[in-house]
């Protein structure tokens, strides 16, 4: 059985460098190490694990199945150690509390900058680490303890999560200026489904909402192109590659001057709820509870 006390952090860091660059020589260059030092670290890890971690090729190295498994674990270990060091540094600098928040794009773009500024101005000793993630990832992170507090969309199941209303937002149809829908004040989503759509990446709650809405009227969403963020969706629509749906307040008025028009959707699902949540029945620190209470009072 492998003894966990035999793992060395520096060796894991060197292992990650080799895995990233596919070469001991390149890993040595990027890590400012000698080639012999890199080779020694990898040999020590292979001795500790009693597994070959790399296959030596003429032009570099390739991870073995054991190496791939170690890559996953080592990445998480090093990431956690770095987070620990940063957090301890914050405490040393006078920070009294640390809250890990994960939120979806809608919340970050529309609401969180103002709300977090208001909270932190009244709680200068608390640090909030914010990560942008998809809603289903946020719920999973709350359940596993990776995140202390999360903001996610209402169409994502959240078992085991205590949730409260955070905000409501309105989804609108975005079309290029000059499009035949641009002059309409309101439109049914079903009446737009002959058009090509620009959507967010797979896994986003907004794309799932649009796909479900199309399915409910026995149609399919003609997804022509996908972008990873709201700005990318807007730019694709401006370029005439399709139409899209985004939260009204995520699209600045400047966009209208550039080439995108907003059209109100008549569908009930276009009014959306954003939840703020924590893991149910968990002992919350006073800092997490303060932020949870503050955010649930913003609606």
Q: Supply the pLDDT for residue 279.
A: 95
Assess whether 154 and 218 both reside in one domain. no
Q: Supply the pLDDT for residue 3.
A: 65
Assess whether 174 and 205 both reside in one domain. yes
Q: What percent of the chain has pLDDT over 90?
A: 69
Q: For residue 82, is pLDDT > 90?
A: no
Q: Burial letters for 75-100: b for 16+ Cβ neighbours within 10 Å, e otherwise?
A: eebeeeeeeeeeeeebeeeeeebbbb
Report pLDDT digits (tens) over 4-54.
Answer: 667 888 989 999 999 999 999 999 998 899 999 999 999 999 988 888 999
Per-residue pLDDT band for 220 (boundaries 50, 70, 90) equals very high
Hunting for tokens 């006390």 — which residue is that? 5
Assess whether 202 and 156 both reside in one domain. no
- CATH number, domain containing residue 180: 3.40.190.10
Q: For residue 257, is pLDDT > 80?
A: no
Assess whether 178 and 260 both reside in one domain. yes
Domain count, the chain: 3
Assess whether 160 and 278 both reside in one domain. yes
Domain around 39: 4-91
Assess whether 112 and 152 both reside in one domain. yes
Q: Are 234 and 294 in contact (CB under 8 A)?
A: no
Assess whether 154 and 292 both reside in one domain. yes
**Residue 178 and residue 131: Cα distance in Å, rounded?**
37
CA distances from 51 to 12, 45, 67, 120, 261 (A): 15, 8, 8, 49, 59
Q: Supply the pLDDT for residue 259.
A: 84
Report pLDDT digits (tens) over 173-213.
Answer: 999 989 999 999 999 999 999 999 999 999 999 999 999 99
Q: Supply the pLDDT for residue 256.
A: 56
Strand-pairing partners, residue 55, are 62
Mean pLDDT to the nearest integer, 105-119: 95
Assess whether 256 and 174 both reside in one domain. yes
Where a domain ends, among 70, 91, 112? 91
Assess whether 204 and 264 both reside in one domain. yes
Look at the pTM and tell me if it is higher than 0.75: no
Assess whether 253 and 277 both reside in one domain. no
Q: What percent of the chain has pLDDT over 70?
A: 94
Q: For residue 130, is pLDDT > 70?
A: yes
Where a domain ends, among 91, 121, 138? 91
Assess whether 212 and 243 both reside in one domain. yes
**Residue 161 and residue 268: Cα distance in Å, rounded?**
25
Mean pLDDT to the nearest integer, 88-94: 65
Assess whether 161 and 176 both reside in one domain. no
């Amino acid at each position: 059985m492998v003894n966990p006390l035999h793992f060395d952090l520096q060796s894991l860091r060197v292992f990650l460098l080799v895995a990233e660059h596919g070469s001991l020589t390149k890993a040595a260059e990027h890590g400012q190490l000698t080639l012999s030092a890199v080779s020694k670290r990898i040999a020590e890890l292979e001795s500790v694990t009693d597994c070959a971690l790399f296959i030596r090729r003429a032009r570099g190295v390739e991870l073995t199945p054991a190496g791939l498994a170690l890559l996953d674990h080592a990445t998480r270990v090093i990431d956690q150690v770095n987070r620990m060091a940063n957090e301890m540094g914050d405490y040393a600098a006078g920070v009294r509390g640390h809250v890990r928040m994960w939120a979806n794009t809608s919340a970050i773009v529309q609401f969180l900058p103002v709300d977090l500024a208001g909270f932190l101005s009244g709680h200068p000793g608390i640090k909030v680490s914010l990560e942008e993630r998809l809603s289903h990832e946020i719920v999973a992170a709350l359940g596993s303890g990776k995140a202390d507090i999360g903001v996610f969309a209402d169409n994502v199941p959240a078992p085991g999560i205590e949730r409260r209303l955070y905000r409501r937002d309105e989804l609108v149809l975005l079309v290029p200026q000059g499009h035949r829908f641009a002059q309409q004040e309101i439109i049914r989503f079903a009446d737009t489904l002959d058009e090509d759509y620009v959507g967010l990446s797979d896994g986003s709650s907004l794309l799932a909402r649009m796909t479900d809405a199309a399915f409910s009227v026995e149609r399919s969403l003609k997804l022509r192109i996908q972008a990873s963020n709201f700005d990318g969706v807007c730019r694709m629509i401006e370029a005439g590659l399709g139409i899209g749906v985004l939260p009204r307040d995520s699209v600045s008025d400047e966009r209208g001057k550039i080439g995108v028009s907003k059209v109100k959707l008549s569908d009930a699902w276009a009014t959306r709820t954003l939840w703020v949540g924590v893991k149910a029945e968990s002992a919350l620190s006073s800092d997490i509870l303060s932020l949870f209470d503050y955010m649930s009072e913003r609606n």
